[in-house]
Amino acid sequence: VQLQASGGGLQQAGGSLRFSCAASGRAVSNYGMGWFRQAPGKEREFVAAVSRNGGSTNYADSVRGRFTISRDNAKNTVYLRTSSLRPEDTADYYCAAALTGWGQAPSIKTFEYNYWGQGTLVTVSS
């Protein structure tokens, strides 16, 4: 599967953005999906994940209540809606796909994801 992330840009603190991750080559319904981010000089970190059936989600503590992950398997797309953005949210955001069971809780671990898209950069100004 190939993943194409989009939706990054420049945003002021307190603003919102919506990321999209479009899958091709194979149905996104075959995968648990996650969003990760990497800030300059830092390691890649988990942001949010959703199970294959959309029934289970996980969030990093730093984004819980501000970010929402969702998926539309019919459109082969996964979304990350962000709100109340902070300067510390500035990073390259990556979507990733993991081979998991249909209702399996989505992983928060980078190494459990098999496929990665390219990053989309978000810069949040104060």
Rounded distance, CA 94 to CA 32, Å?
14
Q: What local confidence, expressed as pLDDT, does residue 67 receive?
A: 98
Q: What local confidence, expressed as pLDDT, does residue 69 receive?
A: 98
Q: What local confidence, expressed as pLDDT, does residue 28 receive?
A: 96
* Number of Cβ atoms within 10 Å of the Cβ of 74: 9
What is the total residue count of the chain?
Answer: 126
Distances 64 to 44, 57, 69, 85, 119 between C-alpha atoms, Å: 18, 11, 10, 12, 21
Low-confidence ranges of the chain (pLDDT < 50): none
Q: What local confidence, expressed as pLDDT, does residue 103 receive?
A: 85
